[in-house]
């Protein structure tokens, strides 16, 4: 349950001819351990009655020092650390690291590895979004949707586990390509899994999206303005739900996205419902992109999926920045090398860290009862904040 403490501050109301009325502001700590905060996040709220007058997100309770650990791991070992900060987007986390290292090495990855990475990135995106599409209604009182969402997740998890051996931390990326060749018949099983999810997704959509109570709890609640998005560096589906039309897959293509028709889903309302709708429509887009990747991969000639690397991999002296469109927003790695087998510096720009700071702008003026709906609609992972 919530770790709640209270501080009371007396405020004396004054007015011409009015009796002095003593009122009290309550300072309420939500967390750091609370079922609605997805982990150890603390919110320090100042309440005026049932309305929030001030909000301060306090982070750092899960800090693991990943950026410092990067400096004492070689470029093969870094991948296993990097894929854990957003534990729902492990493949996408790995991708930024290997892209940065490959850029520094001037390395060209085999075409089959490029298309496989693109496919796996989209499957990972769907898995991430399905988790929030199921857990968000749970936080506002709807229990059933999470069972539907997990059924679809398990369908896709089966093909991800087959190719990598992992269910969350895939460790399938390598500098220069991928860990190993694809299993025989794997593309057919991917196509079948994508078809199953697409066929059954309307069941989940109708269950939530057509629910009057869910719409009443989310429409017009927790509006995030484009101006606040620009100020705080918010990105991903949260930013696009407020009309910020930006997606690295389309605007600065990497992997094979330059050859794919990436549809960027946006909304203008910027409320909780718009953020949920963006996530739902983005699943549909990713399913279409996965199908296109499978079709293209069927026509590729046989060949390697990785480059041969030296026993000790050293990156030339210099620096680079590689960013990708992770499921939760922009993920970036700033790599500085001094020509050794470990990075001199590897700075991580995680999506959730920036996104959660916007709560300071969103929560004031809102009812305490709406706080959980707003918090859940930010679709964050605490490990992605406390890197």
Tens-place pLDDT, residues 346-382: 999 999 999 999 999 999 999 998 998 999 999 999 8
Tokens 């996040």 found at: 41
What pTM does this model have?
0.90
Give the pLDDT of residue 25.
Answer: 81
Tokens 């991969």 found at: 297
Instruction: With CA atoms as reference, report the closest residue to 325 among 118, 179, 147, 133.
Output: 118
Q: Examine the pLDDT at 279 and tell me if it is beyond 90.
A: yes
Q: Is the dihedral of CA 257, 263, 268, 272 positive or negative?
A: negative
Confidence class for position 19, pLDDT limits 50, 70, 90:
low
Confidence class for position 61, pLDDT limits 50, 70, 90:
confident
Q: What is the mean pLDDT of residues 245-263?
A: 96
Task: State both tokens at 253.
Answer: 């293509």
Confidence class for position 21, pLDDT limits 50, 70, 90:
low
In the chain, where are the structural domains located? 6-58, 66-385
Confidence class for position 387, pLDDT limits 50, 70, 90:
confident
Residue 142 CB: number of other CB atoms within 10 A?
17
In angstroms, rounded to a whole number, what is the distance separating the alpha carbons of residues 219 and 206?
17
Q: What is the mean pLDDT of residues 153-166?
A: 94
Confidence class for position 232, pLDDT limits 50, 70, 90:
very high
Rg of the chain (C-alpha set): 23
pLDDT, averaged across the chain = 90
Q: Examine the pLDDT at 261 and tell me if it is beyond 50.
A: yes
For residues 187 and 119, the answer to whether their CB atoms sit within 8 Å is: no
Q: Indicate the Cα dihedral angle 134, 92, 328, 166, nearest 10°.
A: 30
Q: What is the mean pLDDT of residues 202-231?
A: 92
Confidence class for position 2, pLDDT limits 50, 70, 90:
very low
Q: Maximum Cα–Cα distance for the chain, whole Å?
A: 88
Give the pLDDT of residue 36.
Answer: 64
Q: Examine the pLDDT at 175 and tell me if it is beyond 80.
A: yes
Q: What is the mean pLDDT of residues 180-208?
A: 95
Residue 4 CB: number of other CB atoms within 10 A?
10
Residues present in the chain in total = 387
In degrees rounded to 5, what are phi and psi of residue 196?
-60, -45
Instruction: With CA atoms as reference, report the closest residue to 247 among 260, 263, 270, 259.
Output: 263
For residues 255 and 125, the answer to whether their CB atoms sit within 8 Å is: no
Confidence class for position 22, pLDDT limits 50, 70, 90:
low
Instruction: CATH number for 66-385: choose from 3.40.50.460, 1.20.120.330, 1.10.645.10, 3.10.20.740.
Output: 1.10.645.10
Q: Indicate the Cα dihedral angle 237, 241, 245, 246, nearest 10°.
A: -20
In angstroms, rounded to a whole number, what is the distance separating the alpha carbons of residues 339 and 317?
4
From residue 110, how far is each of 13, 122, 150, 175, 186 by CA, in Å? Answer: 71, 19, 34, 11, 19
Q: Examine the pLDDT at 136 and tell me if it is beyond 50.
A: yes
Q: Which of 193-202, 254-263, 301-310 has the lowest mean pLDDT?
A: 301-310
Q: What is the mean pLDDT of residues 87-109?
A: 94
Q: What is the mean pLDDT of residues 219-236?
A: 94
């Amino acid at each position: 349950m919530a770790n709640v403490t209270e501080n009371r501050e007396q405020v004396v109301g004054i007015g011409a001819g009015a009796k002095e009325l003593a009122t009290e502001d309550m300072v309420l700590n939500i967390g750091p351990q609370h079922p609605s905060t997805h982990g150890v996040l603390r919110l320090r709220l100042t309440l005026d009655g049932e309305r929030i007058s001030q909000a301060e997100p306090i982070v750092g309770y899960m800090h693991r020092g990943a950026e410092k650990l990067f400096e004492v791991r070689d470029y093969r070992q870094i991948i296993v650390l990097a894929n854990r900060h957003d534990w729902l987007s492990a493949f996408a986390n790995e991708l930024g690291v290997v892209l940065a290292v490959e850029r520094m090495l001037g390395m060209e990855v085999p075409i089959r590895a490029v298309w496989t990475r693109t496919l796996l990135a989209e499957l990972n995106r769907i898995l991430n979004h399905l988790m929030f599409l199921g857990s968000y209604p749970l936080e506002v009182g709807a229990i059933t949707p999470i069972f539907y969402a997990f059924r679809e997740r398990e369908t896709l998890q089966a093909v991800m586990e087959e190719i990598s051996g992992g269910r969350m931390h895939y460790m399938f990326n390598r500098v220069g390509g991928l860990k190993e060749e694809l299993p025989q018949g794997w593309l057919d099983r991917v196509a079948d899994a994508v078809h199953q999810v697409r066929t059954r997704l309307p069941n989940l959509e109708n269950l939530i999206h057509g629910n009057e109570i869910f719409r009443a709890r989310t429409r017009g609640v927790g509006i995030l303005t484009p101006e606040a998005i620009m100020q705080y560096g918010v990105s991903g589906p949260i930013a696009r739900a407020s009309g910020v039309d930006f997606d690295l897959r389309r605007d600065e293509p990497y992997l094979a996205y330059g050859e794919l028709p990436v549809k960027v889903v946006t909304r203008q309302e910027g409320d909780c419902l718009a953020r949920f709708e963006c996530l739902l429509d983005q699943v549909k887009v990713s399913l279409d992109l996965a199908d296109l990747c499978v079709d293209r991969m069927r026509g590729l000639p046989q060949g390697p999926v990785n480059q041969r690397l030296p026993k000790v991999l050293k990156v030339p002296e210099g620096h680079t920045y590689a960013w990708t469109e992770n499921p939760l927003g922009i993920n970036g790695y700033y790599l500085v090398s001094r020509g050794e087998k470990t990075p001199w510096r590897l700075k991580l720009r995680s999506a959730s860290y920036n996104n959660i700071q916007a709560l300071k702008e969103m929560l004031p003026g809102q009812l305490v009862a709406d706080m959980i709906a707003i918090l859940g609609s930010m679709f964050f992972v605490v490990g992605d904040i406390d890197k």
